[in-house]
Amino acid sequence: MKQYVIDQLRFEDFDRLKSHLEDHFQGSTIEGIYWIPLTEEILSPIQAEHQECKPFYFALELVAPDRLSCELLVRTQSRMRCACIRYATKEQRSWLTDTVDAILEKLEISI
């Protein structure tokens, strides 16, 4: 799996980051998994066409106390398999890293 990983989090960083993700993003039925929805503007053409699959998400995993893992697979919660579920485009990857970096900056978490 392709991922964007932030490691070497401090314990106090983990707690603040976990609280932020719980407050601002939808959680999964799996503990420590959070869904960050993609904006319409960055959907690929096939994702934009698939109205029945929207919204699309990146999954973030915050389970280990020193690591945030961000999948680079764009998913939907309505289907397990579809042509619109695929690895992020360059624009989507940039959007994800910018979004995660902005969260870390807001929480004053330096890596």
Print pLDDT tens along the chain (111 aa). Answer: 899 999 999 988 999 999 999 999 988 888 999 999 999 999 999 999 999 999 999 999 999 999 999 999 999 988 889 999 999 999 999 999 999 999 999 999 987
Query: Domains of the chain (ranges plus CATH)?
Result: 3-106 (3.30.530)
pLDDT at 111: 73
39 sits in which H/E element: none
Distance of CA 22 to the CA centre of its chain: 13
Q: What does the DSSP assignment read for 51-81?
A: GGG-SEEEEEE--STTEEEEE-EEEESS-SS
